[in-house]
Amino acid sequence: MKLGYKKIVVKVGSNVITQANGLPDESRIQHLVDQLAEIKKQGMEVILVSSGAVASGRSLIKVSEKQDAVTTRQLLAAIGQVKLINTYSNFFEPHQIKCAQVLVTKEDFRDRAHYLNMKNCMHILLQNEVIPVVNENDVVSVTELMFTDNDELAGLIASMLNADALIILSNVNGIYNGDPKIEGSAVIEEITGSVNNLASFIQTGKSSFGRGGMVTKSTMAQKVAKLGITVHIANGTTDNVLISLLNKDLIHTRFVPEKIKSGKKKWIAHSETSATGIVKLNDGAKNVLTSGKATSLLPVGIIEIQSDFLKGDIIKIIDESNHLIGLGIAEYGSDKAKERIGQKKQKALVHYDYFYSAI
């Protein structure tokens, strides 16, 4: 295959594997499995992030209209995930490939011990030639505990496993420069760096069974590409989509990766929600820190500690206008940091190796 990746994460959206009538599209699932098996046989490590539990559940049980949305989703996902994983398992079997169910929550990425347990488990599955099939644990992840959607989850998995590429399969050919339904809109084939006006192209509506929509897909894709992982958004309903994409024979959107960041930086990049402290910098410090050079955050550039933290905590670093500059791990607590505000020749609050620039 022309794209010489060694490890890829493939995310399949609900729409790709659900028919218009809401029932699972088994022939589509089988076709995707056949392609994944082919890719694996070529020597690539494959991790699948698949949505579709709720949609599968809908085909198995009729839910009372009186039931609220949260419990309905729990019920459908709990029943549907069994069917979803069985369908994958049955389709992988003729290829002599085993798949494994990995259900995760946001909490598993926040807690470093959980994170490392999950990472070790994934490694052992891959070492044993098993394809992990990952989904959110929708039974316990409700309301604010949920991922924005499985695109966010796929981005986290790709970062955690240092994948070469993340392939997001949706029901459109990629990100269009206008409404995909309107004639004249075309697929943006390559996106480099942070494109400020990207969101303006995207309609806020989502496809019928999806959760996050294209806006969250593009935000996540830019963040993941910044960590050094190529992100592709392509149409999962196109025949042979994965094989064509990997052979550079498909029109779709590709996010060009930046320089590869370390595993620790990748974890920090996705840890904004678990940050405790908030540290405000002056413009001079902001410029140095975001210049791309290896520089640590020194107390001389700090103008305010807005929220307390302990040594080892993730802290948010903001500029004078309160915009996020980056995230880092504190080398000491906020008590010491407060004493050192604006002072020269003090130990760095965040070492360069543990700083992730969000700009």
Ligand X SMILES: Nc1ncnc2c1ncn2[C@@H]1O[C@H](COP(=O)(O)OP(=O)(O)O)[C@@H](O)[C@H]1O
Ligand Y SMILES: N[C@@H](CCC(=O)OP(=O)(O)O)C(=O)O
Going by the annotation, the residues of the binding site are 11, 51, 138, 150
Q: Between 149 and 164, whose beta carbon lies closer to ligand Y? A: 149
Q: Between 45 and 149, whose beta carbon lies closer to ligand X? A: 149
Annotated binding residues for ATP = 11
Task: Identify the residue among 210, 228, 277, 326 touching ligand X (CB under 6 A).
Answer: 210
- CA-wise closest residue to 164 among 67, 88, 232: 232
The pair of three-digit structure tokens given for residue 268, joined into one six-digit string? 């920090």
Q: How many CB atoms are closer than 10 A to CB 76? A: 21
Q: Kindly state the smallest distance separating residue 57's Cβ from ligand Y, in Å.
A: 8
Residue spans of alpha helices (H) in 42-161: 53-58, 69-92, 107-110, 112-127, 150-160
- Can residue 13 be called a binding residue for ligand X (CB under 6 A)? yes
Whether the CB-CB separation of 254 and 185 falls below 8 Å is answered with: no
- CA distance between the termini of the chain: 34
Would you give the distance in Å from CA 259 to the centre of its chain? 18
- Can residue 180 be called a binding residue for ligand X (CB under 6 A)? yes
Could you tell which of ligand Y, ligand X, none binds residue 77, using a CB distance below 5 to 8 A set by kind? ligand Y
d(CA 307, CA 138): 32
Q: Mapping DSSP to helix (H, G, I), strand (E, B) and coil, where does residue 270 land? A: coil
- Can residue 137 be called a binding residue for ligand X (CB under 6 A)? no
Residues at the contact surface with ligand Y, assessed by CB under 6 A:
13-15, 51-55, 77, 135-136, 138, 149-150, 209-212
Could you tell which of ligand X, ligand Y, none binds residue 214, using a CB distance below 5 to 8 A set by kind? ligand X
Could you tell which of ligand Y, ligand X, none binds residue 136, using a CB distance below 5 to 8 A set by kind? ligand Y
The pair of three-digit structure tokens given for residue 150, joined into one six-digit string? 């499985």
Q: Between 13 and 301, whose beta carbon lies closer to ligand X? A: 13
- Can residue 155 be called a binding residue for ligand X (CB under 6 A)? no
Could you tell which of ligand Y, ligand X, none binds residue 172, using a CB distance below 5 to 8 A set by kind? ligand X
Q: Kindly state the smallest distance separating residue 140's Cβ from ligand X, in Å.
A: 21
Could you tell which of ligand X, ligand Y, none binds residue 202, using a CB distance below 5 to 8 A set by kind? ligand X
Would you give the distance in Å from CA 322 to the centre of its chain? 25
Q: Kindly state the smallest distance separating residue 39's Cβ from ligand Y, in Å.
A: 21
Burial of 128 (0-12, 13-18, 19+ CB in 10 A): exposed
Q: Kindly state the smallest distance separating residue 323's Cβ from ligand X, in Å.
A: 25
d(CA 178, CA 183): 9
Ramachandran angles phi, psi of 172, nearest 5°: -130, 160
The footprint of ligand X (CB under 6 A) covers 13-15, 170-172, 175-176, 180, 201-203, 206-207, 210, 212-214
